[in-house]
Structure 1
Amino acid sequence: MPGPAQRLRVPLLIGAHGGRMPRITAEHADIAAFTGARPVGDSRLEALTAEELDERVARYQECASGRKEPAEVNLLIQVVEITDDRSAEIVNQVLAQRERYGFSYLTVLEPNMAVFARVVEALSGR
């Protein structure tokens, strides 16, 4: 009996930015993952500037320019804090980042899921 026409495999996600990792990600990943923060100190995170994220995504895109099929692009959101005055602004920020960087999906850490659910609800259908 002949086997399946295609071999199914689990997609490979690689999330790293330093040294040779953008090249390795471009060569092997089905999903290129980025984060909007960097660790500082023992347990704190500091947001990247827009310019820093631009640089990371551009470096990866340069390495991936020869790919036959583009990888999906993921953003890890490590901290979510929504206040009454930021709710609509966060939705607009997510939409702008999708347009600017091509993020096809977002990853939110478990402690932030309930808070981010409000954003997901507002994004539904967009």
Structure 2
Amino acid sequence: MKEQQSSQQLQWIVEFTVEQSKLEEFREYAKEMIDVVNENEPGAQRYQWYLDDKDETKCIVSELYEDSDAGLAHLEGKATNTILVPKILSVAKITRFEVYGNPSKKLQEALATLNTKNYHFMAGYAR
């Protein structure tokens, strides 16, 4: 069996903890964020938000970027600067940020301030 993963593709798992009294605001901001990412970031191949079934103050965002440039575009883009930082982070905090793949040096530097946990590809495949 041939091992596969795009050598440039990156996956991110980001966990937010939301203030209980701010859940509705968080939901609205998340929808805004999704729309802006979809409209402005063609390198974002997957961008999905999930709420914990038992504790909706816990949210996981599953992200897939075609390469490090797409990841940088997200960090430096409209959605991050007009929604994530001023709105989402006013009602929630990032409690986990995992990066899977081999980010470029430039992306590693940009991620360094976010206290990410990084995993490089070892083996496996995707269909």
Tell me the TM-score range normalised by the shorter chain: 0.3 to 0.5
Point out the structure with the larger strand share.
2
**TM-score normalised by structure 2 residue count:** 0.35
Structure number with the bigger relative contact order (C-alpha 8 A, sep ≥ 6) is 2
Which structure has the greater CA radius of gyration?
Answer: 1
